[in-house]
Structure formats: structure tokens, C-alpha cells
């Protein structure tokens, strides 16, 4: 996915870092209840105990590059110093200028398969608290568990204060070519989708070890945003549902199993081939090329890959190397896995999108029907001209405003809404529908976020057209609206929403319901709780003038999602 919001470099400077956590003297200890007697020494800050840089996978360098992760086991009797952050996996060093949230990466290594565990201070090993496992986003291109945008302090403390305490876990996983390379040699050894396999191994580590930290391995919720949410969705469809999922519930924020274009295409294969040429690893066999790619020093391969990603993936460099189907982990296109019930059943879900999720990824200079057509043809080259014209007809330009003060045409807003529906909204609805169809007793909660703490900052940067953009949910979910960097922009409504949304996420992890009293969102009903049928689900609008539950038909989503979820449109997107 390309991002075209070029005016956010100033905004990125304004809003980062979100948190600075002073360390306190207390050093809690967590002991694994096994014969190995491994213990973990953590730190305490702001009444949250944190255990950092816990290894769950072996070093992925050398012969392990591109391969499925190998579990790491500490030697018996080890006291693990889990007091300082570890390295990020290889990725761009500098935060993308169009992203208002992310920190620069100062330390990276292929020995990066580590996780963190955070819990309310004083949590005993016997607590059996629900566990929330975070999967970061970043277009399959960047991300790290220590980014200040994902500081769990507000979430953990707010959840505990409402009576819904949780254990928070987040894992590093490989991104870019290191996590999503594709080649015949990798396919032959079941080594596609290494980044998703990293996620899976970490979730399995939680299942096997979280009891030592006071967590309940039988009550695990995985949650993520953007490509993190896509990772969540693909963990649900993993192995076509043939393996029992090591989690009970799932939250998908602006993402689904069907979000990444060309997952069922040749995107990663094409780009891996081009990168192989750039690093002079072209050979007579795929195996020889793979051996050559593994011999290149990490810094060199990463640098060349990042330059290549920025060249072909827009100014963000995102979404160049993506998950691959068919493969062992994703045995068919995600939409077909969902349509045929080949996914883990009995997983309660909470999923949704932001009102203007497409604004970052839409070219702001679009100003005519011809511009829109050319843009859609570039974004979805497999869609026929007829199909693109059908899409445009569902979004008449007369239904959208101009913004002359920022030189933004109605055609931009029209296309942004198409991007939102194609990439986020309609795949999310389809996922919920299929989950309900094949597991009618599971809970499915839908939301649309219609408020952003970034509104005044966007206005100050003259990019107010971004609206309730992608990533707007992050400060609310992590309960950070009152954080130092955001406080100057947060309204009373932002503070309230931050408190309630984070509380509802924790309540869902505890009870399976996001409306659970004690300062959570009120009146949020199951999407199918009132007998809703196809494209007639109930969603909860979070924030803004339309706040509250309503049917999903309210925004012409019935006809629009029928189009985007049609076989022709799904095939054109490669999902």
C-alpha cells in the first residue's frame, strides 16, 4: 500500500515520542513452573511491571534467514535479565515521514525474535488474567514492539482500574524481504510467510509460558492494527483451520485476512526476483539464488531492499513484500478460505475501520474522472475497465465535498472512500459474515471510528482532508490521549473516548463483550444479535456526531460491499 500524504513530516515531529517511562527500583521476578526453573527479572514503572527482550525464537541470520522460526529455549536455571529493550528486526531505519506515530529504529538485528510482557504491578503467578497479544502494523515493512505508539501503560492501568485487568504481550516479527520473500526454493521447503510464522510461534510461546507471569493460557485475545490486523486475520485462517488456534478471541483494527492486495498473486515472487538481480544473486537455480541471498550481510541486504521498496512502493515503501498464497500457512486465497469455512472456528471477533481509512493511501491531487480511473487502474491492474467504471458509478462525485482551502477535489474524497471500502470496510464485513455463517454461536462485534485526536494537528499542518485517518484508533486503544505529546491536541471527548475504547478492548478480552459497564462503551451489540442478515449487520460508531449502534447499510455499504466482495472484485485485488 502506497501512502501519499506528503504534508505530515511536521506532524510526525509533533507527535513523537508518545511516552517516556521512568524506571523505578522494583525488579519483579517471574518464574516458569517447569523443571527448567527459568526466571525472568523485569522492571517496574508507573505501577506496570514489564519484562522485555524475552527470546521466543532463534537468531534468524545466516542459514536461518527466510526460514520458519526455530523455538528458543533458555538453559535450565537461567535468570533472564528482561529489563532493557531488544533489537528490532531489519527494516527502514527512519520512521516514514507520512506516518504521525512511529519512532526511528536505532537498533536492529536478525536476532530479533523477542517479545515483551507487561502486567499490573503486584500480579501474582496465580492470577490467571486474560492475555492480550498485540501484533503491530506497518505495511509488512516496518514495526517494533518498543515503539512509543504501542506503550501499553495506559491500556494496562486503565483496564485494571475498570475491573478488567489484562496481561499485555507483544512480539517482534520479520518484515519486508526478511519476512515475506518468495521463491520456488522457499516454497519447496515450506518457508513462505516467515513473518506470519514468527507471529504464530510467539502466540504459541504465550500459550506455553504466560502462566508464569499470571496469565491465563486458555483466555488469549490477539489484536492488531492495519497489517497487524491482517496478521490477526491470517492467524484465524492459518493452515486452513486444520490446526487448533492458540487463542480464544481476536480484534482486527483496519485490517482483515483479505486486506493485502495480491496475497493470492505473484507480488512477493516478482519483487524477490527483482531484488535478487539488484544484489547480483541471479543464478541457474532458485536454490543457488537463495544461498547467495543468505550470504549477503544484513545491513547491505536491508539497505538495498529499503531503497527498492521506496522506489516501487511509493514514498512509504510499504506493501511491497506481502503474505503469499497458496502456501502451507495460507493454503488458498484468504477470501476462498473464508467462503468455504476453512478457518479456526469458535473465535469471537471484534473488528472495524476508521471513517477515513483510505485517506493516507489516496493521491491528494486527483481532480477528475480520468484521474480517478487511472488511479484505480494503477492500484488494481487486474480489474477490467468495465469493473472499474462500475466501482466509480457506486461513488458518484456529487456525493462528496470539495475542500478548496487545501486545494482538494471531491474526486479525492470519492476515491478515498473507495479505497477504504475495498481495503478495509468490505473485507471486514465479509470476515464477520463468514465467521457468523460457519460459527453462528460466536460473537462478532463491528465498529467504525468517527473521531481522531489528530484533527487539530492535521489542521495545523494543512492536511485536515485526512479526516479520521488510518492509525487514528491507536491512541484510543492504548489509552494515550492524555500522553504528553497528544495532550495539546486532545479534547475532552478524546479523553473520554480513549478511556472507554481501551476499556472495551480489555472487557472484550475478559468477557467476550465490549459493553461491560465500568467506563466501557455502552450499547454495543453483537453484529448479528438481532437476527441481522447479509449486509444488514449492526455496527457501533465510536465517537463523532453519529456515535452509537446502527445498521451497516447507513453509508450505502450494502451495494458497495456487494460489489467489492464479488468474486470479480476479489480476484482483481488478488485476495
Cell numbers 509533533 correspond to: 14
- Residues 309 and 314: their CA atoms lie apart, in Å, by 8
- Residues 438 and 384: their CA atoms lie apart, in Å, by 32
Q: Report which DSSP code applies to 406.
A: G
b/e sequence 253-285, b meaning 16+ C-beta within 10 Å: bbbbbbbbbbbbbebbbebbeebbeebebeeee
3-state secondary structure of 168: strand
Strand order in the sheet with 29-31: 29-31, 39-41, 79-81
- Cβ within 8 Å of residue 488, ≥6 positions away: none
- Residues 347 and 250: their CA atoms lie apart, in Å, by 7
- Residues 525 and 514: their CA atoms lie apart, in Å, by 9
Instruction: List the beta bridge partners of residue 482.
Output: none
- Residues 232 and 229: their CA atoms lie apart, in Å, by 5
Q: Is residue 547 among the annotated active site residues? A: no
Cα 308–310–313 angle (5° rounding)? 100
- Cβ within 8 Å of residue 210, ≥6 positions away: 117, 131, 167, 169, 216, 217, 220
**Nearest CA-CA partner of 412 in 365, 353, 464, 356:** 365
Identified catalytic residue from 12, 191, 226, 448: 226
DSSP 50-89: EEEEEE-B---SGGGTTSPP-B--PPTT-EEE--S--PBP
- Residues 18 and 249: their CA atoms lie apart, in Å, by 28
- Residues 177 and 272: their CA atoms lie apart, in Å, by 7
- Residues 460 and 66: their CA atoms lie apart, in Å, by 43
Active site (catalytic) residues: 226
Amino acid at each position: 500500500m502506497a501512502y501519499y500524504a506528503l504534508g505530515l513530516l511536521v506532524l510526525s515531529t509533533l507527535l513523537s515520542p508518545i511516552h517516556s517511562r521512568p524506571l523505578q527500583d522494583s525488579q519483579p521476578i517471574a518464574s516458569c513452573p517447569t523443571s527448567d526453573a527459568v526466571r525472568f527479572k523485569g522492571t517496574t514503572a508507573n505501577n506496570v511491571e514489564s519484562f522485555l527482550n524475552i527470546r521466543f525464537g532463534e537468531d534468524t541470520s545466516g542459514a536461518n534467514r527466510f526460514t520458519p522460526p526455530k523455538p528458543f529455549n533458555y538453559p535450565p536455571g537461567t535468570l533472564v535479565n528482561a529489563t532493557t529493550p531488544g533489537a528490532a528486526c531489519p527494516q527502514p531505519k527512519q520512521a516514514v515521514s507520512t506516518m504521525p506515530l512511529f519512532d526511528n529504529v536505532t537498533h536492529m538485528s536478525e536476532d530479533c525474535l523477542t517479545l515483551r510482557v507487561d502486567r499490573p504491578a503486584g500480579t501474582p503467578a496465580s492470577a490467571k488474567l486474560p492475555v492480550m497479544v498485540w501484533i503491530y502494523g506497518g505495511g509488512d515493512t516496518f514495526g517494533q514492539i518498543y515503539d512509543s505508539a504501542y506503550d501499553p501503560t495506559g491500556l494496562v492501568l486503565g483496564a485494571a482500574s475498570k475491573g478488567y485487568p489484562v496481561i499485555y504481550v507483544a512480539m517482534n516479527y520479520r518484515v519486508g524481504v526478511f519476512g515475506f520473500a518468495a521463491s520456488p526454493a522457499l516454497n519447496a521447503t515450506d518457508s513462505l510467510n516467515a513473518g506470519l510464522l514468527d507471529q504464530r510461534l510467539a502466540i504459541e510461546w504465550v500459550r506455553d509460558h504466560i502462566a508464569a507471569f499470571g496469565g491465563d493460557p486458555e483466555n488469549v485475545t490477539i489484536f492488531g492494527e492495519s497489517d497487524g490486523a491482517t496478521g490477526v486475520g491470517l492467524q484465524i485462517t492459518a493452515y486452513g483451520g486444520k490446526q487448533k488456534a492458540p487463542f480464544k478471541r481476536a480484534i482486527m483494527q483496519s485490517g482483515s485476512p483479505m486486506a493485502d492486495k495480491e496475497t493470492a498473486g505473484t507480488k512477493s515472487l516478482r519483487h524477490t526476483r527483482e531484488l535478487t538481480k539488484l544484489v547480483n544473486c541471479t543464478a541457474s537455480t532458485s536454490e543457488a539464488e537463495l544461498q547467495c541471498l543468505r550470504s549477503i550481510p544484513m545491513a547491505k541486504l536491508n539497505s538495498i531492499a529499503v531503497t527498492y521498496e521506496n522506489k516501487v512502493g511509493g514514498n512509504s515503501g510499504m506493501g511491497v513484500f506481502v503474505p503469499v498464497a497458496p502456501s502451507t500457512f495460507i493454503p488458498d486465497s484468504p477470501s476462498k478460505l473464508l467462503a468455504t469455512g476453512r478457518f479456526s472456528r469458535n473465535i469471537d471477533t471484534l473488528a472495524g475501520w476508521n471513517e477515513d481509512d483510505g485517506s493516507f493511501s489516496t493521491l491528494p491531487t486527483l481532480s477528475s474522472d480520468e484521474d480517478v480511473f487511472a488511479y484505480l487502474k494503477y492500484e488494481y491492474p487486474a480489474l477490467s475497465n468495465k469493473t472499474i467504471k462500475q466501482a466509480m458509478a457506486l461513488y458518484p462525485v456529487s456525493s462528496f465535498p470539495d475542500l478548496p482551502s487545501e486545494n482538494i477535489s471531491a474526486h479525492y474524497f470519492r476515491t478515498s472512500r473507495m479505497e477504504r471500502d475495498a481495503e478495509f470496510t468490505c473485507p471486514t464485513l465479509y470476515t464477520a459474515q463468514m465467521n457468523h455463517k460457519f460459527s453462528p454461536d460466536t460473537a462478532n462485534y463491528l465498529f467504525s471510528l468517527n473521531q481522531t485526536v489528530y484533527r487539530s494537528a492535521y489542521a495545523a499542518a494543512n492536511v485536515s482532508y485526512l479526516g479520521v485517518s488510518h492509525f487514528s484508533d491507536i491512541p484510543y486503544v492504548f489509552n494515550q490521549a492524555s500522553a504528553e505529546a497528544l495532550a495539546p491536541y486532545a479534547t475532552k471527548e478524546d479523553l473520554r473516548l480513549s478511556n472507554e475504547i481501551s476499556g472495551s478492548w480489555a472487557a472484550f478480552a475478559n468477557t467476550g463483550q465490549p459493553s461491560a459497564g465500568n467506563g466501557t462503551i455502552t450499547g454495543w451489540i453483537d453484529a448479528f444479535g438481532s437476527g441481522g442478515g447479509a449486509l444488514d449487520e449492526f455496527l457501533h460508531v465510536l465517537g463523532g456526531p453519529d456515535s452509537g449502534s446502527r445498521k451497516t447499510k447507513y453509508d450505502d455499504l450494502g451495494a458497495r460491499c456487494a460489489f467489492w466482495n464479488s468474486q470479480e472484485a476479489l480476484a482483481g485485488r488478488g485476495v
